[in-house]
Amino acid sequence: GAVVSQHPSRVICKSGTSVKIECRSLDFQATTMFWYRQFPKQSLMLMATSNEGSKATYEQGVEKDKFLINHASLTLSTLTVTSAHPEDSSFYICSASDDSYEQYFGPGTRLTVT
Amino acid sequence: EDQVTQSPEALRLQEGESSSLNCSYTVSGLRGLFWYRQDPGKGPEFLFTLYSAGEEKEKERLKATLTKKESFLHITAPKPEDSATYLCAVQAYTGANSKLTFGKGITLSVRP
């Protein structure tokens, strides 16, 4: 149980375009979802926290107009990177939590902006 | 602000050579300390949660322990398949969201 999927696993996009990443909890209802980014040989940095039906809470230094987060249902959250630039290239990981405070991580999405 | 420091940054072991990974933390009211394993290009895989000082948990060759200031992940007789990055994270009793603060991780390489 407690499986989280992400789609796509890899994406390459051109500078200036937008890209959407999906995060789904497959066998439980996720009241809270988290989005992280991870640079090579660095740890996971929390970008934002979202609760179903509410606006996301962004961490300091994360541009909410650039990283749009939607948590439309108890099983789906999306992260849209708008007007992507090469410096946005990173490994994006989502996690989902039910009411137990445990976090279950997805497999990650590798974004490359050319 | 919650902080997690892991050491060493990298560790190279011979197969069968036991060792320990350290995670030091400061947190305003610890709800839980988590250990994850991460393979290259993958998301973190849950290993253990520890909730109070003195608690210990074991899984195969891994044993995690917790004090009020640090946690250790002991690896007994490691095998090459134990090679990975091991992440430590803390969760505080703050608000309704279960925010995790991660350390930078320890990259373990086990040579056959």
Chain segment B9-33, per-residue pLDDT in tens:
999 999 999 999 999 999 888 999 9
Among chain B, residues having any CB pair with chain A shorter than 8 Å are 31-32, 34, 36, 41-46, 49, 87, 89, 91, 97-105, 107
Chain B residues within 8 A of A92 when measuring between CB atoms: none
Q: CA nearest B46 in A: which residue?
A: A104
Residues linked to residue A104 through DSSP beta bridges, in sequence order: A96
Count CA within 13 A, CB hemisphere, residue A21.
32
**How far apart, in Å, do the first and last CA atoms of chain B sit?**
41
d(CA A70, nearest CA chain B) in Å: 17
pLDDT at B64: 98
Which of the two residues, A98 and A6, has the higher pLDDT score? A6
Taking 60 as the threshold, does the pLDDT of residue B96 lie above it? no
Per-residue pLDDT tens digits for A2-60:
899 999 999 999 999 999 999 999 999 998 999 999 998 888 999 999 988 888 999 99
Taking 90 as the threshold, does the pLDDT of residue A86 lie above it? yes
Task: State the average pLDDT over residues B64-78.
Answer: 97
User: CA-CA distance, A32 to A55, in Å (whole number)?
Assistant: 11
Nearest CA among A4, A15, A30, A25 for reference residue A111:
A15
How many CB atoms lie under 10 A from the CB of residue B83?
16
User: CA-CA distance, A106 to A36, in Å (whole number)?
Assistant: 10
Nearest CA among B15, B33, B9 for reference residue B101:
B33
Burial B66-78 (b: 16+ CB within 10 A, else e): beeebbbbebeeb
> Do the bridges between strand B106-111 and strand B10-14 make them parallel or antiparallel, or are there none, so unpaired?
parallel
Q: With bands split at pLDDT 50, 70 and 90, how would you rate the model's confidence at B95?
A: low
> Do the bridges between strand B62-66 and strand B56-59 make them parallel or antiparallel, or are there none, so unpaired?
antiparallel
Mutate which of B1, B98, B104 to test chain A, going by most A C-beta atoms within 10 A?
B98
Q: With bands split at pLDDT 50, 70 and 90, how would you rate the model's confidence at B99?
A: confident
User: CA-CA distance, A35 to A111, in Å (whole number)?
Assistant: 14
Lowest mean pLDDT among A52-56, B2-6, B101-105: A52-56
Which of the two residues, A99 and A108, has the higher pLDDT score? A108
Taking 80 as the threshold, does the pLDDT of residue B97 lie above it? no
Q: With bands split at pLDDT 50, 70 and 90, how would you rate the model's confidence at A102?
A: confident
d(CA B108, nearest CA chain A) in Å: 13
**Which residue carries 């509410």 as its tokens?**
A54
> Do the bridges between strand A10-13 and strand A109-113 make them parallel or antiparallel, or are there none, so unpaired?
parallel
Residue B56: CB partners within 8 Å, gap ≥ 6?
B50, B63, B64, B65, B66
Taking 80 as the threshold, does the pLDDT of residue A101 lie above it? no
Nearest CA among B52, B11, B15 for reference residue B31:
B52
Q: With bands split at pLDDT 50, 70 and 90, how would you rate the model's confidence at A1?
A: low
Task: State the average pLDDT over residues B81-94.
Answer: 92
